[in-house]
Homo-oligomer: A and B are copies of this chain.
Amino acid sequence: MIYTVGEMAKMLSVAPSTLRYYDKEGLLPFLERSGGGMRMFKDADFEWLFIIDCLKKAGMPIKDIRDFIEMVMKGDETIGDRLELFNKQRKAVEEKISQLQATLDTLNYKCWYYETAKKAGTTAVPREMNMEEVPEQMRHVKEMLQKAHSI
């Protein structure tokens, strides 16, 4: 199957202008054109775009993604570098997830805080609570928030 830029964009849930931008930035050297100059996406190109999207979600800038695509175009001699690149991105995403987990801990604390305040009608109640009255999983967040006071 052959797809136009609009069709492929729909398959990926992005704007056609995004795919044109990627092409201009050198991310799509594999892309073929019709005699009249129209972009012709193949089924196999979906895989390229899926991986590009994955690297974007991992936080990689467009220019670095282009460097990776160029590596792939060079062939098997770059396998080692590509493996290294994916190991690096894996680590980066693992770190992002654990950072977001810490953020989630803080949000959970604040949800508990405002649920408690709502029941009491005032934020004074959760605010003035002793550490023992705070649910165990929340305590490290409360400690974090009071960090400055203990310096």
User: Could you list which residues of chain A lie within 8 angstroms of chain B, going by C-beta atoms?
Assistant: 1, 11, 43-47, 50-51, 54, 57-58, 76, 79-80, 82-83, 86-87, 89-90, 93-94, 96-97, 99-101, 103-104, 106-108, 110-111, 114-115, 117-118, 121-123, 144-149, 151
Known: A79-B118, A90-B107. 5 other contacts (CB 8 A): A1-B148, A11-B148, A54-B106, A93-B100, A93-B104
A-B contact pairs, 13 of them (CB 8 A): A44-B149, A46-B148, A50-B147, A51-B110, A57-B99, A76-B121, A76-B122, A82-B114, A83-B118, A90-B107, A93-B107, A97-B101, A100-B100
Q: Which 6 A-B pairs have the closest CB atoms?
A: A46-B148, A83-B114, A90-B107, A54-B106, A57-B103, A43-B148
Chain B residue contacts of A144, Cβ below 8 A: 50
Number of copies: 2
Cα A78 to Cα B93 with chains together (Å): 36
Contact of A108 among B80, B83, B90, B114 (CB under 8 A): B90
Q: Is there contact, CB below 8 Å, between A86 and B114?
A: yes
A79-B114, A79-B117, A83-B115 in contact; A94/B104 too (CB < 8 A)? yes
Q: Is there contact, CB below 8 Å, between A107 and B76?
A: no
Q: Is there contact, CB below 8 Å, between A107 and B82?
A: no
Q: Is there contact, CB below 8 Å, between B100 and A96?
A: yes
Q: Is there contact, CB below 8 Å, between B107 and A89?
A: yes
Chain B residue contacts of A107, Cβ below 8 A: 54, 58, 86, 89-90, 93
